[in-house]
A and B are shown apart, each in its own frame.
Chain A
Amino acid sequence: MRAGSNLENVLRSGAFAVTGELGPPKSGDMEVVRKKARILKGHVDAVNITDCQTAIVRMSSLTAGLIALSEGVEPIMQMTCRDRNRIGMQADILGASALGIKNLLCLTGDHQKFGNHPQAKGVFDMDSIQLLQMVKGMRDDKRFQCGEEIKTGEPRLFLGCAANPFADPFEFRPVRLAKKADAGADFVQTQIIYNIEKFEKFMEMVRDLGVHERCFILAGVTPPKSLGMARYMKKFVPGLDVTDDVIQRLQDAKDQKEEGIDICVDIIRRVREIPGVAGIHVMAIEWEEAVPEIVKRAGLSERPAMQGGEPVLASASSIKEAVEKARKDGRIELEGELEKVKAEAHASRDLLAKEKQKVASEISGLKKQIEEARSMVSRKEAEIGRLTKELQKAKETVVEAGRRGSPVGETTQPALQVRSEGVTSGASCALSHREQQVLSSLNKGLVALKEVLGLSDAQFEAVRRFLEAEFMLQFSTSVRQTMEAPPEGGHLAEEIEPAAEVSAVVPAPEAETVEVEEKPQRPKEVVNLVAQGSVALHSKDYGKAVKAFKKALEIAPDDKKAQEGLEEARNALAKEKEAADKAVKPKEVQGLPPCPDEIDSEEWKRKWVIRFTAMGNVALMKGDYEAAKKEFQKALELDPACEKARAGLHRSENGQDIFVPDVMAEGAVPAPAEEDKEVEEKTQGPAVEKPDREKPAPALEAEEAPAEEVSRSESKVEISAPSGEGVIELDVAPLPKDEPPLEERARGIPEEIYKEPCSGVIQSVTIGDGDKAITVGGESALPFYAFEGEIPNLPRTAFEVLDSAPGEWPECLLRHYADVINDSAAWARKCVNEFGAQAICLSLDSTDPNGANVSSADAAQVARKVIEAVDVPIILWGCGNAEKDTETLREVTSLVENRNICIGPLTDANYRTLGATAMAFQYPVVAATPIDVNLAKQLNILLENLGVHLDHILMDPSIGAVGYGLEYTYSVMERIRLAALTQQDEKLSPPIICNLGREVWKAKETRLPTDAELGDQEKRGVLMEAITASTLLLAGGELAVMRHPKAINLTNVLVEGML
């Protein structure tokens, strides 16, 4: 044994050792180390405590090692040569050894360049091999590096080193390890192994050198926490060989962490098979939690019992235990003291009661004497009266005698006067003198009593005061009533009477005495009752006092004394109650305060159960689970069947907050469990708000999803599918609304930061008649920027209907109209009735002189039919030949003059004639220009000059489908819109119409059949059309002319979802 460390014991016993790694924190927070140590405890034989790994300043290895040791985890202190010279290192080694560190891993250390202090001066006084030599010399030769002897207490350390089998030159690596073994390494931990083949080769060479026989080899492993980490290690950590296989496994894994652990376990299993491997070193960098799992899965969770670790520091749990114990002991002691004091108080109270009784009997004796004295006094008064009379008589006699001429009387008179005065005054104060005598003798008796009974001053004072009061009272009210025995102290005497309170009430009876004497007209009964009340008051029987005063007031409602007394008694009662309430806390261990007389004990108990439960709930609300737990436990002690308390206890133990019901009155009790459940559901409510909106999949997703998912929708439109291809679901579920609104989400941010309101307004143009008319435009904000301004009208879609059977429509589009293609009116009706068209755009394609060249008159007839067939707004779209269009559209207008149709396209070639027509009928017109802001503006100006108002113009800037110049269209439209809104360019303010269906459905992508690469043709076409439409609406389009019903639905849903 070199050091007798646990690791050494395990390794020498031949067991397969497991070591872990603990990175100290970048702070002085001891808890971090303790926590990590506790995670690793019992799962590893020892733990490396890194020494400022990657040259980043952290808590020192020695300190963190000691903390780990205190938690029962054996540390392997790491020591690098980077930061200390031989003086500092040897000093730390001595200190570590003194404090119970038994393993030392000797490293050169990462270069300071990699750390957070790259400007530091690297010390590198020696390298790791020389460090091993030095420590070995200290341990085995008991000499410092300089050769000086270590006289006592040489460091006993089990020495380790590191080896990197994957660094270059590979052939030298085993040699270098052999050097380390020679220098004194008892064990070695390798760099993280992923490339097992290479490690096997390394081990073979190591075995050839016989190193495995001199030195225990622990294979280093690390669970890759994520693909990112593995890639990082592969790329950036020098000397770390992460294999492609590992990367691949992580890439394919569903749960990368799980896979990381599995990879690590697989590596452990494999390296364990390699001869010479004595253990593993698991480095779960900032992922200590993974270690127990890895060890378990690798079948290594049975760790030998720890030997040799004697912590110098106390562990957190042992400190806690000690504190708890001291606290408990203290409490027991205090409780004992309290009991003792209470017993004493009880004893003295009993004594006091006895004394009171004794004194009371004495008083009654004294009363008799007083009575006698009184009667004597009255007798004397009578005598005095008689004497006065005699004196008077004598005077008269004298006067008479004087009158007769004798001067003698003159001298006697004054003398007699003086005397008589003396007698009267003597008579009036003889009573109080007598009283005082009685009192003083009473006092003397009491003092004697005090000495005999050994009463304290306070007790004595209380007795004395009491008697005094009693005496005065009895005396002043003629002592008629039989004095009631002094109230049994009972529960009220629980508290020792504060002397101050007693003395405070003393003056009252004195004043009362005077008053009673002055107001003899008060009914005797009242006086007696008041006196009773006062006595009860003084003996602190407030309940009785209240009763007495009340009775007195019944007889004499105006009696001031009784009123005052009642008030005082009530106040005192309230105070007492308050004191009792307050007393609950300190008395919590002793059970309940005594039950008042007027309540039976069961009732009292129930009240307290409610009270404790309520207090527990209050604590729960505050989040003080410990306190809550105590309260609930107390409630349960009183009533183990209390459901509410039990539920509360459960919550407090699980750290659940209580939900506060609307009313939480005192005594109102915690919500029962069922109620809670409901409440929980309620609180979860906001998360699943508007389930009806969220349930259906969002539009585009639905489109991409297989049809069966969408087909759940209820109002399904049946479409006759002529071919055997999959039926497309036309309906689109609405989008969830943007909730909560922006104002709410942006609360706290000043509006001007996110709002950039526009100063211009787009014209609003109305097409159609009656309630089916649609208005587009009118907004004062950029498309869909509803938070910046008004968007009174939604962008709209129109179904395109042709005036003749379409020649080039792909089948997947055509089949939706297959039954009506030869009848434009029916077609339009189908669009309205079946697909819910908001508007119809009738394309008069057949009039094209380069195509079918149908005559204007015939075309006009078709148009008339269509217009008459439906009541939604109609847009008549010519063939694009200016001349022919003029002719045709004029023809139509003559047929349908009373309908507000929209006609177009008007170009610079025919705007005059058509503009004039439109103006005559007040038709809105489509002003078409070839993708150019200036041309668009110019045409608007020309039309305006002609007399067409801007609110009768829809601009067609010419558009391209996605993939066919959409971005060009987009930027032109955007510029038009910005000019109108932000530069108030009125000439560009008309709304924009986008005839996009024709553009999309002539694109090659919509025409190529379904195949594996491009997918379903119809879906493709629909998406192209919907995306083109939504993009153009985002650029500023207000009216989109489209073809496929599904694409139109998608677009409408998007618009409604966004506005």
Chain B
Amino acid sequence: MPSRYPQRLHFDTIVFSTEQLKIWCANMARIICCWARTIPTTSVIGDPIGFIESAKLDSVEARAVMGENAGRLLKIEAPLNRPVR
């Protein structure tokens, strides 16, 4: 069924509130969210890491969003700048 395929894909998008981020993670498999920041950017999120932390995702989801998913995609180790709760 088409509804199961989004769990096999990775979606690059922008969310503008922690509520949107939580909905996104709840509806997708954990591994599909990845996070990136375009520089220079017109998207105004001053502290992206703090933004993700404020969504209070569980630690597995948070680590995935902050870099582990991107690391798996690109076959690199994705260092996290600070520990995730």
Same complex? no
Chain B residues with a Cβ under 8 A of chain A = none
